[in-house]
Amino acid sequence: MKEPTVDARISPEGHLAVLSKAEVNKLLDTSRGGLYQLLHNCALAVLNCGNTLDDGKELLQRYPSFSIKVIQEERGIKLEVIGAPANAFVDGEMIKGIKEHLFAVLRDIIYVSDEINDNPKFDLKNSEGVTNAVFHILRNANVIRHQTEPKLVVCWGGHSISREEYTYSKDVGYQIGLRDMNICTGCGPGAMKGPMKGATISHAKQRVNDGHYIGITEPGIIAAESPNPIVNDLVILPDIEKRLEAFVRTGHGIIVFPGGAGTAEEILYVLGILLHPDNVEMPFPLIFTGPKSAEDYFKQINQFIGDTLGFEAQQRYKIIIDDSERVAREMKAGIQQVRTFRKSKGDAYYFNWLLKISSEFQQPFIPTHKNMASLKLNKKQQCHQLAANLRQVFSGIVAGNVKDEGIRAIEKHGHFMISGEAEIMEPVDQLLQAFVKQHRMKLAGKIYIPCYKIVK
């Protein structure tokens, strides 16, 4: 069935009202080096808000006639969209939150292209250079706010979760908001939307008029996790590694809800960083939580971490089951420790400069079949390095599951072959099988076809 579409011209909302002629030409350039395809794909994902679709390739195929064009006028710019998803409009007018997100996409694409890429000020092969780039992208998006107390809670979890898990994530967000804390998520549906929805209600009750709901995403994942309209600050980072760094640099604590391969990637990322010897003394509240029905899920996650990374890694988080009030209280107390620590060290509240993030967590991992087969998965390395390599396993699986390029690579070359020591691969295999059984790899009702094979 053909999807209903709308054609429209949109004036700027909140971001980037003017562009240079060179910037407009770059955005309209359809060659390999141009920005048009990046703008096209990210814009379509934003306009797809509310649709139950988690397949980047399918999204592009569902709207084959969609196009977007920058129109330069004397008083500024407009965006012309042809064949846009109709659910982004009400009575012919684009929903205001979606319009804001559309121009946020434009802002970030232009900024990264003009100011970050090929700029000698940002050495992206250097750890310090990557961190500096992440900071500047966030600052340009007005996410970095100088005069602010530590109160930003990052919430991670799956887009494909049960109704009970979604309702619980909303309850946790409600309790977080009652305590005047803000929410940052990956901006999509499921466990990324629930906490924001809960917090909007409690912020209204507490007369919090400046509630901050930050959504951080990247071009490869945005089509599978279209930004939900509650997000009032959307930021597009260039790749998954910079996106993850943005979470841990700006957030003051992290809550993890049930999820699939993407959530496992996030868990391994933050644990790998916290296990680095330079970060041992740094307070960073990390809570795994879900309703009673998710108790076995977190037992398996805890077992997986123990089997692969060991007891020390298990000490860096708390598991709280079916107690949203306790989660919020523990997070508030943990963030107070963060405040005390940063004040004593002279570190900023708005960006965690002191956190050591080594290059294996910063350099983009391209999940080709060769790179996936070459991952070093054994215990003859430090724990934080093993966590980095395990993170790449799950990052590749996410790409093969939902990202356009990853799906096409699997169709062309077959499964990713993932191999390593048996004592590592056995827990990986068990966890992935559990995700498949629990329908955490695809949205409910869709059949999951594995993109990988485990070789023990």
The residue ranges of every structural domain in the chain are 5-118, 122-456
Region of 58 (left: φ > 0; alpha: ψ -120 to 50; beta: rest) is alpha
Structure tokens of 259? 């999820």
Write down the pLDDT at residue 50.
Answer: 64
- pLDDT score at 106: 87
φ, ψ (nearest 5 deg) of residue 324: -65, -35
How distant is the alpha carbon of residue 202 from its chain centre?
24
d(CA 160, CA 258) in angstroms, rounded, equals 9
Q: How far apart are CA 455 and CA 426, in angstroms?
A: 9
Angstrom distances, CA of residue 314 to CA of 257, 268, 310, 318 = 16, 11, 7, 8
Q: Which amino acid is at 33?
A: G
Long-range contacts of 34-37 (CB under 8 A, 24+ apart): 35/109, 35/110, 35/113
C-alpha angle 85/166/45, rounded to 5°?
20
CA pair distance 446, 427, nearest whole angstrom: 25
Can you read off the two tokens belonging to residue 430? 């068990």
N-term to C-term CA, the chain: 44
The residues, ordered by sequence, that sit 6+ positions from 287 with a Cβ below 8 Å of its Cβ are: 253, 254, 255, 256, 317, 318, 319, 320, 327, 330, 331, 334
Count Cα atoms within 13 angstroms, Cβ side, for 359: 7
Q: What is the pLDDT along the chain (456 residues), one digit of tens a residue?
A: 567 888 998 887 656 555 667 777 777 666 656 688 888 888 988 888 766 555 556 776 778 889 888 887 766 678 899 998 888 899 989 998 898 898 899 899 989 998 999 888 899 999 999 999 999 999 999 999 877 889 999 999 998 889 999 999 999 999 999 999 999 999 888 899 999 999 999 999 999 998 999 999 998 888 777 888 899 999 999 999 999 999 999 999 999 999 999 999 999 999 999 999 999 999 999 999 999 999 999 999 999 999 999 999 999 999 999 999 999 999 999 999 999 999 999 999 999 999 999 999 999 999 999 999 999 999 999 999 999 999 999 999 998 887 878 888 999 999 999 999 999 999 999 999 999 888 887 665 577 888 999 987
**Overall CATH class of domain 122-456:** alpha beta
Residues 6+ apart with CB under 8 A from 174: 198, 199, 201, 202, 324
Res 224: pLDDT: 72
CA angle 265, 266, 270 (to 5 degrees): 120
Q: What fold characterizes domain 5-118?
A: MCP/YpsA-like (3.30.1850)
Distance CA 293, CA 224 (A): 26
Q: What is the per-residue pLDDT for 447?
A: 77
Would strands 182-185 and 152-156 be described as parallel, antiparallel, or unpaired?
parallel
Task: Report CA 349 to chain centroid distance, whole Å.
Answer: 21
pLDDT of residue 214: 96
Measured from the Cβ of residue 327, the count of other Cβ atoms closer than 10 Å reads 24
Q: What confidence score (pLDDT) does residue 79 get?
A: 85
Compute the distance between CA of residue 436 and CA of residue 417 in angstroms, rounded to an integer.
17
